[in-house]
Amino acid sequence: MANWSNTDKGMLIVISGPSGVGKGTLCKILLNRVENLFLSISATTRPPRPGEIDGRDYIFLSRELFEEKIKKGEFLEWAKVYNNYYGTPKDIVFQQLRDGKDVVLEIDTQGAAQVKNNYPEGIFIFISPPSIKELKKRIIKRGSDTESSIELRMKSAIDEIKAASEYDYIVLNDDLNQAALNLQSIVLAERCKVSRNTKIVLKLREEFGNDASVN
């Protein structure tokens, strides 16, 4: 049943998928195409890669500081991915949602499961590769991983893919244009839900009242 309040909160959109599936590229296209969408900047303890900027790509923190923030409950979710901590700052995301902004989290499946527990009204989208073979090909082609890191990423890819059934939507990234269109369509369709547009519905009720006759 819809909650007929007068204030519509933003949507929390969670996007996950195995490393190398192209979720970063898809998120970028989504943010370029759809207005009023904001990407949450995660905190991490992994060192910046060349070209990455603190506060734009990630908030880079020391392990000590990250652990302190975990203790203080400052993350909406956090996880250890490939031996580094990653987490979503809670206050910023909740403030944006309260302001009616739609927020995208690009996080791993462990983190997404925590968000689902703490915030079940989120929208959960899984980006899937066409096959394991194709995923491996893409990770190798990326050229930024050592052989052992490729093996590690492939192992965790299998765990991530097992979690796909917990999501609301699945986007197969076989053809990038089609995948981007599907992702965009999901977000736009979710925005059109009656339960997210209570202000419009209330306005219509006020304007039209119970009298449907127009003279």
Which range touches ligand 5GP (CB under 6 A), out of 63-71, 86-94, 117-125, 133-141? 86-94
What string marks each residue from 136 to 175 as x (binds ligand 5GP by CB under 6 A) or -? ----------------------------------------
- State the maximum Cα–Cα separation within the chain, in Å, rounded to a whole number: 75
Q: Which of 122, 101, 92 is nearest to 186 (CA)?
A: 122
Phi, psi of 177, deg, nearest 5: -65, -45
Burial class (CB in 10 A: 0-12, 13-18, 19+), 184: middle
Determine, following the binding rule CB under 6 A, whether residue 45 of this chain makes contact with ligand 5GP.
no
Closer of 10 and 22 to ligand 5GP (Cβ): 22
Determine, following the binding rule CB under 6 A, whether residue 87 of this chain makes contact with ligand 5GP.
yes
Determine, following the binding rule CB under 6 A, whether residue 88 of this chain makes contact with ligand 5GP.
yes
Question: From the list 30, 79, 161, 163, which residue makes contact with ligand 5GP (rule: CB under 6 A)?
Answer: 79
Structure tokens at 134: 């194709």
Q: Which of 97, 85, 92, 90 is nearest to 118 (CA)?
A: 90
Binding site for ligand 5GP (CB under 6 A): 19, 42, 46, 77, 79, 81, 86-88, 106-108, 110-111
